[in-house]
């Protein structure tokens, strides 16, 4: 029996125009001045070192801990649902071409997966709000242990590869150099709205590459 094609999408920059997790963390930091102070250093370092994938992964964890530590799982869940709903309700926060492409593949019978470094409740709420309930989601999960938040599974960078062990990706849509490990495993990669430097990087390292510009 012929298998359905597996089509994988990154979330931010492909479906979401906003960095969804950063949006949530920023709101949380700004609403709590002491947390904002704790998050200032990792936020500044992230901006300076954003071209270095390994540093970005570590710094994103530090920023998440600064913003979310002290919350309970229930409190975070309420925040994630509220933010995901807010983002999905604002048309400027999503990329119409990306959303349409996901729907196209679903309607054609493809197996569609979104893989993202954004936390699972936030990303699921956002996707459901866009009408993409049928999309499989592989996302970051958090564990709230008393006053400490821990990354139970941080689905970012090379960690994304683990979600596709034993699966053949036919087409992968991304906009990030953090996704190079997944792109190298895919039969075809579509790079969305890259700058010149990112395009050169993917052209040098990824076979069967297509570059697209989406408004």
Predicted structure pTM score: 0.88
Residue extents of the structural domains in the chain:
6-212
* Distance between CA atoms of residues 102 and 135, nearest Å: 8
Alpha helices in 143-209 (DSSP H): 180-185, 196-205
Task: Give the DSSP letter string of 11-69.
Answer: SBTTTBSS-HHHHHHHHHHHHSHHHHHHHHHHHHHHHHTTT-HHHHHHHHHHHHHHHHT
> Of how many residues is the chain composed?
215
pLDDT at 195: 95
| Pairing between β-strand 189-192 and β-strand 209-212 as defined by DSSP bridges | parallel
* Distance between CA atoms of residues 166 and 164, nearest Å: 6
What is the token pair recorded at 134? 């049928």
pLDDT at 37: 44
pLDDT at 125: 98
* Distance between CA atoms of residues 202 and 185, nearest Å: 13
Contacts of 99 (CB under 8 A, 6+ apart): 15, 130, 132
pLDDT at 59: 61
Beta bridge partners of 112: 7
Residue identified by tokens 């990303």 is 123
pLDDT at 55: 54
* Distance between CA atoms of residues 18 and 20, nearest Å: 5
How many angstroms separate the Cα of 57 from the Cα of each of 75, 86, 125, 199, 203? Answer: 24, 26, 23, 21, 23
**Burial profile 90-127: b = 16 or more Cβ within 10 angstroms, e = fewer:** eeebbbebbbebbbebbeeebbbbbbbbbbbbbbbbbb
**Is 3.40.640.10 the CATH number for 6-212?**
no
3-state helix, strand, coil in the chain (%, to 5): 55, 20, 25
What is the full per-residue pLDDT of the chain (215 aa) written as tens digits?
Answer: 678 999 999 999 999 999 998 889 888 887 665 554 444 445 544 454 455 555 555 566 667 677 787 889 999 999 999 999 999 999 999 999 999 999 999 999 999 999 999 999 999 999 999 999 999 999 999 999 877 888 899 899 999 999 999 999 999 999 999 999 999 999 999 999 999 999 999 999 999 999 999 98
């Amino acid at each position: 029996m012929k298998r359905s094609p597996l089509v994988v999408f990154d979330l931010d920059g492909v479906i979401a125009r906003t960095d969804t997790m950063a949006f949530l963390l920023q709101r949380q930091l700004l609403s709590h001045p002491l947390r904002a102070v704790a998050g200032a250093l990792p936020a500044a370092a992230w901006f300076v070192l954003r071209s270095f994938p390994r540093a970005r992964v570590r710094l994103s964890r530090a920023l998440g801990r600064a913003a979310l530590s002290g919350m309970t799982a229930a409190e975070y869940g309420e925040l994630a649902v509220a933010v995901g709903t807010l983002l999905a309700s604002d048309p400027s926060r999503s990329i119409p071409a990306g959303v349409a492409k996901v729907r196209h593949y679903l309607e054609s019978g493809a197996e569609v997966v979104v893989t993202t470094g954004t936390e699972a409740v936030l990303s699921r709420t956002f996707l459901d709000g866009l009408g993409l309930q049928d999309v499989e989601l592989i996302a970051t999960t958090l564990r709230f242990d008393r006053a400490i938040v821990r990354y139970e599974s941080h689905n970012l960078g090379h960690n994304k590869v683990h979600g596709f062990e034993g699966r053949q990706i036919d087409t992968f849509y991304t906009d990030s150099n953090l996704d190079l490990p997944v792109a190298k495993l895919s039969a075809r990669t579509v790079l969305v709205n890259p700058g010149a430097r990112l395009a050169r990087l993917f052209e040098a390292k990824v076979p069967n590459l297509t570059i697209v510009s989406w408004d």
